[in-house]
Amino acid sequence: MLSSLMAAVGSESTMVPDEMRLTADGKELVYQLLWRSVLILVLIFAIFPVWMMFTTSFKTRDEVLQLGLDIIPADPYVQNYFLMFQRFPLVDYYVNSLVISSVTTVLSLLIGGLAAYSLSRYEFPGKEKFEMGALATQMIPGVLILIPMFLLFIVMDQSANVPMKDTYHGMIFLYTTFTVPFTIWMLRGYFDTIPTALEEAARIDGCTRTQALFRVVMPLAAPGLAATGMFVFLLAFNEVLFASVLATDNVTPFSIGIQNFQQQDQTMWGQMMAASTLAAVPLLAIFVVFQRQIVSGLTSGSVKQ
C-alpha cells in the first residue's frame, strides 16, 4: 500500500506540464543572469576597498572613528589633501619610489628579456636546471632572505667600500634580484609564441641575429613586455618588507613614508587615505592607457604554438 502510494506521488512530481518547462533559450537566459550576478558581486567586492579609501580621504578623524558606513561623505573635508603635504615630504617619497621602480623595471626587462629569449631559442647544458632555479626563487618567502641581504649590504659597505644600505643603487640592485626571475618566467612563454620563421626570414634579408632580435622579435613582443613591465613596476613600487629595513632615511619610498601618518598616540586616517589616493591615481592611469597591451600580453603568453 505504502509503496504504491509513494510511486503515485513520484509519478505526479515528475509530471510537469510542457508549458512550464524551460526552453533552451530560457536556460541560457537564467545561466547568463546568474553568471552576471556573480561577476557584479565580485566587482563590488574588488572596488569597495578602493572606494572606501577614496571617501575616507574626505572625512575628518572623528567621522572616521564613528565607524559609519557612509558611501558618500555628506560634508567633504578636503583639507586632508593639503595637510598631508605639510606634515611629511610626500613628494620626496614619491620621487624615490618612481626612480627606484622605473630603473628596476628597465633593468629587469633588459636582463630578464634577454635571458627569456635565450631560453626560448637556444639549447645549452643546464638549461632545465636554470629554469627550475629561476622558478624556485619565486617560492622563497622574502622574510627568509631579509637577514642575508642585510648582511650582504653590510659586507659590501665595509669590505668593498660600496655603500648599499639606504641608497638608490642598493635598492635597485635588491629589487632587480627578485624581479628578474619573475620577468624570465613571464616572457619565456611569450617568446615561444613568436615563430622562429620570422627571424629566419629577416636573416635571409640581410639582418644579423641581433638585428633580427631588436627589429622583428622585440616589436612583436611589445604586449608581453608591457604586461611584464607593469607587474614589475607595481612589485617594486608596493614593496614594504625590504624597504622598511634597508631604506629608512635618504631614499625612503612612498610605501614606507605613508606609514608616518600612523603615530604612537593617533593615526591620521584621512590624510593617510588622501596620500594613498594620490599614489594610486598615476598607477591607475598607466593601467588604463596600456590595458590593451597588458591584457594581450597576459593572454598571448599563455598559449604555446
Q: What is the pTM of this model?
A: 0.78
CA 89 to each of CA 54, 197, 200, 284: distance values in angstroms, whole numbers, following the listed order: 21, 54, 54, 22
Amino acid letter, 45: F
Distance, C-alpha 253 to centroid of its chain: 17
CB-based contacts of 8, cutoff 8 Å, min separation 6? none
DSSP state of 267: B
Please report which residue ranges of the chain form alpha helices under DSSP H. Answer: 2-13, 24-56, 61-65, 80-87, 90-121, 127-137, 146-158, 168-192, 196-204, 209-212, 218-220, 222-238, 243-246, 254-257, 269-289, 291-300
**Predicted confidence (pLDDT) at residue 277 exceeds the cutoff of 50:** yes
Longest dimension (CA), the chain: 98
Residue 267 φ/ψ, nearest 5 degrees: -125, 125
pLDDT tens digits for range 158-172: 888 888 888 999 999
pLDDT band at 178 (very low <50, low <70, confident <90, very high): confident
Counting every residue written for the chain, the total comes to 305
Task: Report the CATH architecture of 88-263.
Answer: Orthogonal Bundle (1.10)
pLDDT at 99: 94
Average pLDDT over residues 50-72: 79
- What's the mean pLDDT when you consider all of the chain? 83
DSSP state of 262: B
